[in-house]
């Protein structure tokens, strides 16, 4: 990959993230249309996408993003009202931009396909359709009434920013056209006067391709300094920019300083930035000056700022007094402030590299175990000590390495907001999505695998679960339906629940359908739970008519298969008229587990430690073992058990005289016991998947290599428990 | 051709710019026009075919104007198209170019 390709990858990732951010912002706006910050963030997303797409010559994207940006800018300036319609259009715009990006990546040189072109046109028309009515405010300054009002406002406010732009000689060649920036600036406010200074020396040295222009602009706007500076963001390399706030702002800044949050940072520059009288760039430049002048006496940053006429002296003085006050008020808290995590402390890492790291850590765990095995017979205390401390380090490394791949599930969850919104609009339902436990973390690969099943389950709840507002009112429920998405940890697993307050599952309909499809026979006496779980069987849909969303009966079995492929389970519980709860249980990670090694008939097995409740001696009469139905009485509770050796080799002759142990395992609410010959203790286990030919093997999820080079099988506890329960 | 030159009379040349005035052609444009900038011979610059300009183009106009006054002759810029006029107005250069409003609003 060359540099450009790399940049392209970064751009793609960034653009995707920006668009996701934009989507969630838009959804927030839907509930809270006046939130200026959110409007800003939508605008910024589009603006940045436009800018970076331009760098790669994705003209289609630039053109489209520009249209969207213009509309958003009008919204920002209050020239256009953001309403349901506009939000829908903007959401479509986001989708379209994604499509454009994909298209541009695949066919960098080609024209748009007709389909995309049509969509392009359609959206642009939609975007601008509303404009005709409200935008005359902005475009025709000559029209009498508006012009007068602005004139008066201008005189009253006298709040002109003074902007000095000196473009570098190379600006034109770098593709920077001052014209476009000034045109763009005009969209933020009114240019009161503009003085163009051209510094063309004489005929001999004049080069028409060099830029000799300087602008001094008096600018009237409500925007803050950062916004103005952002206008020139793309020119900042080829232009010296000085933005001097209007006099009237000084008063504002002083007032803002009075009310500055006392928990805020106590550095002068940060204070000034926080009240908006200084932009980050100003600060960087001032700091550079400070560093450059280190051979002379170092000036305080405040003085430099005053000298450069960036900040008024009064403001700096005020800020300094405020700073002192805060410092005396909270001397101890200073440290806390400094350790605040900064949002930009992330680096992008190729996930393949992380995978590699985790693989290596896995090997390290294995060879650590091997070393322990080798040194044990020698019983040398010093070596054992070293080995013990190394082992604990290795297990720390393992935890940290696994942590690297953990991502909070919230991001996935919030994507469903859009799904719920779109689908409920489409179906004419009023549905709210409640999310809890979004901070719960799990392995990225697991997150990716469950995205589809989750989407499917949620669509199902939307379509089948929650009824139309009318029906709901008739049932005496609130008009607005709710779907809850919960995530939480439970004994080494992640549990995700989808709870709706809809109509619940229709037991009779499911059973009838299942019988007619021949999935179960009439004589089967099924429990409620079993009936509910029938919806995960292939080819079963009770909905009379298949809709776009669901009802073809192909989805639910795929959902189950997908979840099971990451060693998870899905369960469904429902009560008619009250709602349905779908519970998905997933392992925390796919790579390494804390295991417990047992032995039966000279074969070693690993049981995930988190699932083990206790180990007891098997041989005693206390448990009143029933050898025929395989049930024991564990302190009053009946519990099924399996003899592992017998399970994996039914023909084997069990010797009765060995002292056996019973490992009690639990999955969810169900318990079972495994009878084994020996307990070997805890073992860090690197899961190696079994080959394809073992796909149909029941009771085993994988294997691991032990320190001595032997292979131990990892038990599928959940599968074994359900086997034991069935064979009572 | 980038420009077309008509000798109106012994004291005046008319130069018609045939293309847009942007960063892509300012260099060539300048070298094409330069020979006609001589002391004592007025130039009328016809911009009727210039449908587009950027800052570099405007800068060239400023330079030409400056040269003309240095060499002591008159440079009249005529037939400015709306899009170029727009830029000139934005850059507050109407006075420098002695723009005469064609619709006769301002003489």
Q: Which of A183, A203, A208 sits opposite B56 (nearest CB)?
A: A208
Q: Which chain B residues in 28-57 lie under 8 Å from chain A, judged by CB atoms?
A: 29-30, 54-56
Q: A211 and B87 in contact by Cβ < 8 A?
A: no
At A649-687, the pLDDT tens digits run: 888 777 666 788 889 998 767 888 998 888 988 877 777
A171 to chain B, closest Cα gap in Å: 10
| pLDDT < 50 regions, chain B | 102-107
**What is the distance between the terminal CA atoms of chain A, rounded to a whole angstrom?**
60
The answer to whether residue A426 scores a pLDDT higher than 70 is yes
A235 to chain B, closest Cα gap in Å: 14
Q: B91 and A206 in contact by Cβ < 8 A?
A: no
Q: How would residue A597 be classed by pLDDT, with cut points 50, 70 and 90?
A: very high
Collect all residues of chain B within an 8 Å Cβ-Cβ radius of residue A200: 59, 62-63, 66
Which 8-state DSSP code applies to residue A2? Answer: -
A174 vs B: CB within 8 A: no
Q: A172 and B55 in contact by Cβ < 8 A?
A: yes
Q: Which of B26, B63, B90 sits opposite A200 (nearest CB)?
A: B63
A233 to chain B, closest Cα gap in Å: 18
At A305-340, the pLDDT tens digits run: 666 666 666 677 767 776 666 655 544 444 434 333
Between B87 and A546, residue with greater pLDDT? B87
A172 vs B: CB within 8 A: yes
At A397-423, the pLDDT tens digits run: 887 887 787 888 888 888 888 888 888
B96 to chain A, closest Cα gap in Å: 11
User: What is the predicted pLDDT for the residue at A152?
Assistant: 40
Q: B59 and A186 in contact by Cβ < 8 A?
A: no
CB atoms within 10 A of CB A492: 14
pTM of the model: 0.46
Q: Which residue of A has its CA nearest to B68?
A: A203
A291 vs B: CB within 8 A: no
Q: How would residue A598 be classed by pLDDT, with cut points 50, 70 and 90?
A: very high
Q: Which chain A residues in 208-247 lie under 8 Å from chain B, judged by CB atoms?
A: 208-209, 211-213
Mean pLDDT of A277-304: 64
User: What is the predicted pLDDT for the residue at A148?
Assistant: 40
At A177-220, the pLDDT tens digits run: 888 888 888 888 888 778 777 777 677 778 888 888 888 888 88
Q: Which of A186, A198, A208 sits opposite B27 (nearest CB)?
A: A208
User: What is the predicted pLDDT for the residue at A271?
Assistant: 63
Q: Which two tokens stand for residue A485?
A: 């998405």
Q: Which residue of A has its CA nearest to B60?
A: A208
Between A492 and A175, residue with greater pLDDT? A175
Query: Which residues in A148-162 are b (16+ Cβ under 10 Å) and which e?
Result: eeeeeeeeeeebbbb
Mutate to test the interface with B, among A139, A169, A179, A197 (most CBs of B within 10 A): A179
* DSSP character string of A315-326: HHHHHHHHHHHH
Mean pLDDT of A370-389: 86
The answer to whether residue A110 scores a pLDDT higher than 80 is no
Residue that is written with structure tokens 């040349």 in the block: B13
Q: Which two tokens stand for residue A579?
A: 């709602």
A505 vs B: CB within 8 A: no
A241: left (phi over 0), alpha (psi -120 to 50) or beta: beta
Alpha helices by DSSP H, chain B: 26-33, 55-70, 82-90
User: What is the predicted pLDDT for the residue at A131?
Assistant: 45
For residues A629 and A641, the answer to whether their CB atoms sit within 8 Å is no
> What is the Cα–Cα distance from A412 to A24, expressed in whole angstroms?
12
> Which range is least confidently modeled, A102-111, A502-511, A570-579?
A102-111
**Whose CA is closest to A61, among A97, A35, A20, A28?**
A97
Q: A196 and B66 in contact by Cβ < 8 A?
A: no
* B92, A133, A421, A101 alpha-carbon torsion, rounded to 10°: -40
CB atoms within 10 A of CB B92: 15
> Which range is least confidently modeled, A152-161, A210-219, A296-305?
A152-161
Reduce the secondary structure of A142-201 to three states and give it as a string. CCHHHHHHHHHHHHHHCCEEEEEEEECCCCCCCCCCHHHHHHHHHCCEEEEEEEEEECCC
> What is the Cα–Cα distance from B40 to A242, expressed in whole angstroms?
42
The answer to whether residue A547 scores a pLDDT higher than 60 is no
* A712, A717, A722, A727 alpha-carbon torsion, rounded to 10°: 50
Collect all residues of chain A within an 8 Å Cβ-Cβ radius of residue B66: 198, 200
Percentage of residues in chain A with pLDDT exceeding 70? 76
């Amino acid at each position: 990959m060359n540099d450009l390709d790399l940049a392209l990858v970064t751009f793609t990732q960034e653009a995707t993230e920006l668009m996701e951010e934009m989507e969630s912002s838009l959804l927030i706006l839907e509930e809270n249309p006046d939130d200026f910050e959110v409007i800003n963030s939508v605008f910024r997303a589009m603006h940045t996408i436009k800018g970076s797409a331009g760098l790669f010559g994705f003209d289609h994207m630039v053109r489209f993003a520009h249209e969207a940006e213009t509309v958003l800018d009008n919204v920002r300036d209050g020239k256009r009202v953001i309403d349901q319609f506009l939000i829908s259009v903007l959401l479509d715009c986001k989708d379209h931009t994604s499509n454009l990006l994909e298209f541009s990546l695949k066919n960098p040189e080609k024209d748009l396909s007709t389909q995309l072109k049509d969509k392009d046109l359609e959206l642009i028309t939609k975007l601008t359709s509303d404009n005709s009515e409200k935008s005359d405010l902005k475009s025709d300054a000559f029209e009498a009434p508006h012009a007068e009002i602005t004139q008066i406002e201008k005189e009253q406010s006298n709040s002109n920013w003074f902007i000095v732009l000196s473009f570098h000689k190379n600006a034109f060649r770098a593709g920077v056209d001052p014209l476009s920036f000034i045109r763009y600036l005009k969209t933020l406010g009114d240019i009161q006067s503009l003085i163009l200074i051209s510094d063309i020396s004489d005929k001999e040295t004049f080069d028409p391709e060099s830029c000799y222009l300087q602008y001094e602009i008096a600018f009237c706007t409500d925007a803050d300094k950062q916004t103005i500076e952002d206008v020139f963001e793309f020119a900042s390399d080829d232009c010296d920019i000085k933005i001097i706030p209007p006099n009237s702002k000084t008063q504002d800044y002083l007032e803002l300083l009075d009310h500055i949050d006392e928990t805020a940072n106590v550095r002068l520059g940060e204070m000034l930035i926080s009240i908006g009288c200084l932009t980050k760039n100003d600060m960087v430049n001032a700091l550079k000056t400070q560093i450059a002048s280190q051979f002379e006496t170092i000036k305080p940053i405040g003085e430099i700022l005053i000298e450069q006429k960036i900040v008024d002296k009064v403001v700096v003085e005020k800020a300094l007094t405020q700073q002192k006050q805060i410092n005396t008020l909270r001397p101890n808290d200073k440290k806390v402030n400094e350790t605040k995590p900064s949002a930009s402390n992330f680096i992008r890492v190729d996930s393949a590299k992380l995978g590699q790291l985790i693989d290596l850590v896995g090997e390290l765990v294995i060879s650590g175990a091997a070393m322990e095995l080798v040194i044990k017979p020698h019983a040398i205390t010093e070596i054992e000590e070293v080995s013990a401390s190394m082992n604990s380090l290795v297990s720390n490394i393992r935890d940290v390495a696994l942590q690297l791949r953990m991502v909070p599930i919230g991001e996935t969850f919030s994507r469903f907001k859009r799904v719920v919104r779109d689908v409920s609009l489409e179906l004419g339902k009023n549905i709210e999505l409640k999310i809890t436990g979004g901070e719960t973390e799990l392995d990225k690969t697991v997150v990716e695998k469950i995205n589809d099943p989750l989407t499917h389950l949620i669509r199902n709840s939307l379509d089948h679960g929650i009824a139309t507002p009318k029906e709901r009112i008739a049932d005496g429920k609130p008009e607005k339906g709710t779907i809850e998405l919960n995530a939480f940890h439970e004994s080494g697993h992640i549990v995700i629940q989808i709870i709706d307050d809809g109509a619940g599952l229709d037991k009779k309909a499911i059973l009838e359908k299942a019988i007619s499809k021949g999935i179960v026979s009439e004589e089967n006496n099924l429990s409620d739970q079993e009936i509910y779980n029938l919806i995960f069987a292939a080819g079963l849909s009770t909905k009379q008519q298949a809709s776009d969303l669901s009802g073809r009966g192909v989805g639910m079995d795929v959902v189950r298969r997908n979840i099971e492929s990451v060693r998870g389970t899905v369960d469904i519980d429902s009560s008619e008229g009250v709602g349905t709860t779908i519970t998905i249980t997933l392992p925390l990670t796919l790579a390494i587990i804390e295991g417990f090694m047992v032995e039966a008939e000279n074969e070693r097995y690993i049981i995930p430690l988190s699932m083990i409740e206790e180990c007891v001696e098997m041989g005693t009469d206390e448990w009143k073992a029933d050898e025929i139905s395989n049930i024991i009485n564990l302190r009053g509770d009946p519990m099924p058990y399996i003899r592992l050796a017998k399970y994996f080799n039914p023909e084997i002759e069990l010797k009765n005289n060995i002292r056996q142990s019973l490992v009690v395992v639990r999955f969810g609410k169900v318990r079972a016991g495994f009878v084994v010959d020996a307990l070997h203790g805890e073992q860090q286990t690197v899961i190696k998947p079994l080959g394809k030919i073992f796909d149909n093997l029941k009771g085993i999820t994988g294997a691991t290599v032990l320190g001595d080079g032997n292979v131990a099988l990892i038990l599928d506890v959940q599968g074994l428990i359900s086997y034991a329960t069935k064979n009572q | 051709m980038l420009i077309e030159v008509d000798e109106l009379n012994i004291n005046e040349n008319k130069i018609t710019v045939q293309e847009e005035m942007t960063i892509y052609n300012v260099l060539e444009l300048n070298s094409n026009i330069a020979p006609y900038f001589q002391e004592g011979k007025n130039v009328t610059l016809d911009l009727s075919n210039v449908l587009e300009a950027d800052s570099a183009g405007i800068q060239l106009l400023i330079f030409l104007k400056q040269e003309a006054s240095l060499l002591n002759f008159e440079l009249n810029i005529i037939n400015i198209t709306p899009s170029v006029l727009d830029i000139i107005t934005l850059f507050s250069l109407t006075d420098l170019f002695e723009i005469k409003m064609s619709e006769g609003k301002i003489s």
